[in-house]
Amino acid sequence: MANWSEVDTYAKSWVKEAGENIRKSFSKKLTIMTKSNANDLVTDIDQGTEQFFIKKIKEKFPEHRIMGEEGFGDKLSNLDGVVWIIDPIDGTMNFVHQQRNFAISIGIYENGEGKIGLIYDVVHDELYHCKKGHGVYMNDLKLPPLKETEVSKAIIGLNATWVTENKRIDPSLLAPLVKEARGTRSYGSAAIEMAYIASNRVDAYITLRLAPWDFAAGVIMIEELGGVVTTLKGEKLNFLENNSVLVSKPGLHKEIMKEYLNNGNW
């Protein structure tokens, strides 16, 4: 049985240390590479940050397993035991182009159950953290449970990709939502979008393709605050593959599913 207070203390201190190293990297020259396509960027800092976490975790908690975006962790086919799901820099394009609007995102699971979620907005020094059952905090501020809202009063996190021609969803499905909502935003970091729902800056977030490391930390926080996370078909997320994702305050989730996504039949 893991000592979650101990894991939490170490995880937070490593996240802060990694964040400090990332801030220091701003004055150095980045090595930028591409992965699946010309816009899928990765840098030496993404890779070095993931390796930093892996070294720390393996030293202190050798029995824990790690799923990391950059591939330095373990190859997992299940979520048995304690698993750290790590995105060393979520929002790499922003990191490279803007030096802001990116985050370190870590979700720690035990047998598939969320235990600790950490999202660190490095530039704003905002650490969102949650130990299951003990609430969600932004730095020292305890975040209140999410309140119900409706589309006409909501700010929806949504990338313009999904309302123009794309290969995952008919753009005419979500276009009416953009029209009816109070406003839309796109921050370019799934972890930050989810942290912003947790902190009441955004009301819902919709995207068609996220990997487990993009949402592992956020899901723990949103559910702890009474929010809802499903695929756009209304199903539970699968933590071993890519998913479409609808993250939302409680009543709003129902409204979006029913009025815009035909309860998942699209």
Q: Which residues bind Ca ion (CB under 5 A)?
A: 69, 87, 89-90, 214
CB-nearer residue toward ligand IPD: 67 or 190: 190
Q: Which residue is nearest to Ca ion (CB)?
A: 90
Spatial distance between the Cα atoms of 2 and 68, rounded to a whole number of angstroms: 20
**Shortest reach from residue 235's CB to ligand IPD, in Å:** 19
**Shortest reach from residue 260's CB to ligand IPD, in Å:** 20
**Shortest reach from residue 266's CB to ligand IPD, in Å:** 20
**How deeply is 173 buried, as exposed, middle or buried, from its count of CB atoms within 10 A (0-12, 13-18, 19+)?**
middle
**How deeply is 129 buried, as exposed, middle or buried, from its count of CB atoms within 10 A (0-12, 13-18, 19+)?**
buried
Q: Which does 210 bind (CB under 5 to 8 A by kind): ligand IPD, Ca ion, none?
A: ligand IPD
CB-nearer residue toward Ca ion: 193 or 203: 193
Strands (DSSP E) contained in the chain are 32-34, 41-43, 65-68, 82-90, 103-110, 113-121, 126-131, 136-138, 141-142, 155-158, 183-185, 204-210, 228-230, 243-248
Contact between 49 and 88 under an 8 Å Cβ cutoff? The reply is yes
Vertex 178: Cα angle to 177 and 180 (nearest 5): 60
Binding residues for ligand IPD, per CB under 6 A?
A: 69, 87, 90-92, 188-190, 207, 209-210, 214
User: 220 in helix, strand or coil?
Assistant: helix
244 alpha carbon, distance to own chain's centre: 13
At 113, give phi and psi (nearest 5°). Answer: -100, 130
Contact between 41 and 92 under an 8 Å Cβ cutoff? The reply is yes
**Shortest reach from residue 137's CB to ligand IPD, in Å:** 22
**Shortest reach from residue 159's CB to ligand IPD, in Å:** 6
Spatial distance between the Cα atoms of 59 and 113, rounded to a whole number of angstroms: 23
CB-nearer residue toward ligand IPD: 37 or 152: 37
**Shortest reach from residue 2's CB to ligand IPD, in Å:** 27
CB-nearer residue toward ligand IPD: 110 or 121: 121
Q: Which residue is nearest to ligand IPD (CB)?
A: 190
CB-nearer residue toward ligand IPD: 189 or 199: 189
CB-nearer residue toward Ca ion: 168 or 179: 168
Q: Which does 58 bind (CB under 5 to 8 A by kind): ligand IPD, Ca ion, none?
A: none
Q: Which does 225 bind (CB under 5 to 8 A by kind): ligand IPD, Ca ion, none?
A: none
